[in-house]
Amino acid sequence: SQQGEEDPQALSIQEGENATMNCSYKTSINNLQWYRQNSGRGLVHLILIRSNEREKHSGRLRVTLDTSKKSSSLLITASRAADTASYFCATEPYYNQGGKLIFGQGTELSVKP
Amino acid sequence: DADVTQTPRNRITKTGKRIMLECSQTKGHDRMYWYRQDPGLGLRLIYYSFDVKDINKGEISDGYSVSRQAQAKFSLSLESAIPNQTALYFCATSDLASGPSYNEQFFGPGTRLTVL
């Protein structure tokens, strides 16, 4: 079964607004990552946050991690039409043999110009 | 990512046929993965390999097999394709060396497979 559950499944906003996506997971993790997928294409890594980190920034992206609640959020500020894509969280479980990630079902973001 | 290539990009086949999907990488990574993506289900891991002599089953390996011919090549086979294997298939690589790219997975462009 999937480790990550993402919320909402779909999000539609206007250009310039902020977009927030949430991810919940079930077991202890080493790190959590966010990926982006443009329609029908391969996923692209956005940001990684380790289990001992609480917040991380990269450009217009802000990721938070709450290990007590087993949840993470991805905030995209000042969204652009080019941000339209699906966003996936992926967790590396604590028991991991090394390198295996478990992906959530994704949030489909639509940014209208 | 152009460093991870997949062939073919699209394939239509019939039930019962044997199909091979190929993945090549020039990133020099030891770890390679095969995923399938279905609408609403995200990515599910089929098989993964940590080096040429290592093959591991993922979440949904039934009906699939893999071959790691070299560090740079990882092939996925459907021995007897069935319609519910219609999906988008992705190959990915990663490197566990310490540094900013730790365990970041690099994806190929995908193969769209249709089984009639």
CB atoms within 10 A of CB B27: 15
For residue A42, give the nearest of B58, B96, B110 by CB distance.
B110
User: Along the 116 residues of chain B, how does pLDDT read in single tens digits?
Assistant: 579 999 999 999 999 999 999 999 999 998 999 999 998 778 999 999 988 989 999 989 999 999 998 999 999 999 999 999 999 999 999 987 666 567 789 999 999 999 99
Q: How far is residue A48's CA from residue A81's CA, in Å, rounded to a whole number?
A: 24
Q: How confident is the model at residue A65 (pLDDT cuts 50, 70, 90)?
A: very high
Q: Which residues contact B102 (CB under 8 A, 6 or more apart)?
A: A48, B95, B96
Which residues of chain A make contact with B44, given a CB cutoff of 8 A? 2, 103
Which residues of chain A make contact with B104, given a CB cutoff of 8 A? 33, 45, 48
Chain A residue closest to B94 (CA)?
A: A99
Q: How far is residue B59's CA from residue B72's CA, in Å, rounded to a whole number?
A: 23
Burial of A24 (0-12, 13-18, 19+ CB in 10 A): middle
- Please, what is the Cα angle at A65 between A84 and A106, to 5 degrees? 35
Q: Which residues contact B51 (CB under 8 A, 6 or more apart)?
A: B30, B68, B71
Chain B residue closest to A92 (CA)?
A: B103
- How many secondary structure helices (H) and strands (E) does chain B include? 0, 11
